[in-house]
Amino acid sequence: MDKVRILYLSNYKISKGVLLLVDVLKSLKEKGLPFFARLVGGPSDVSIEDLKIYIKERDLEKDIEVTGPKYDQDKYVEFQKADIFVFPTYYSNETFGIVNLEAMQFCLPIITTDEGGIAEVVTDNETGFVIEPRNVKQLEDKLEILLKDQQLRVDMGRRGHEAFLNHFTVQHFEKNLKKVFDSILQKKED
């Protein structure tokens, strides 16, 4: 069985769920599930070295790579190489996680949390799974489902891409902004 490629892309911040993800991956490895995860991001309250030590202490050095930050085309290559995108944030000031939109743009199924406006972007059980923040059991269960079911990964990724094209492109933003302005102008005329 080929290893499923998991991507985390955000700052290495405890409240972004990076350590929680590593712990879940340890549990999934113990279940014998094949995966390879790439943790892409810049250091925040977790340094690159501390993250590597955390991974080594859990005997996951062959299963998880810490890349540090990636920008522009290098970041997009990370999305292209992935099979699943995981963003288990519980950051209290989370907006909607632009990384979720980027993952949808690249046809990736998403596992993320109901934090900030994320549930407005990722549709639970359609474009991915939206779990409770800090719920390790849910994260493990949903990731196990996607690791085992290639067709579900493909279907969720396709639906996510369609949602991105239908609701989140620049053209849709401009169209909706025009509607707002037209509405305001109409009210002034009345």
Q: Give the Å distances, CA to CA, from 76 to 6, 99, 174, 181.
A: 14, 11, 24, 34
Q: What is the DSSP string of 53-72?
A: HHHHHTT-TTTEEEEE---H
- For 57-84, how does the pLDDT look when each residue is reduced to its tens digit (9 = 90+)? 999 999 999 999 999 999 999 999 999 9
Q: Model pTM? A: 0.90
- What CATH number did the domain enclosing 76 receive? 3.40.50.2000
For 111-117, what is the mean pLDDT?
Answer: 95
Could you tell me where the beta strands, DSSP code E, fall in 10-164? 35-40, 64-68, 84-87, 110-113, 128-131
At 163 the three-state DSSP class reads helix
- What range does the domain containing 85 cover? 4-189
DSSP-assigned beta bridge partners for residue 130: 112
Measured CA to CA in angstroms, residue 106 lies from 1, 57, 75, 145, 165 at distances of: 23, 32, 12, 20, 11
**Cα 25 from chain centre:** 15
Res 183: pLDDT = 73
37 pairs with which residues across the strands? 6, 64
Q: How confident is the model at residue 31 (pLDDT cuts 50, 70, 90)?
A: very high
Q: Structurally, how many domains does the chain consist of? A: 1
147/181: higher pLDDT: 147
For residue 172, name the pLDDT band (cuts at 50, 70, 90). Answer: low
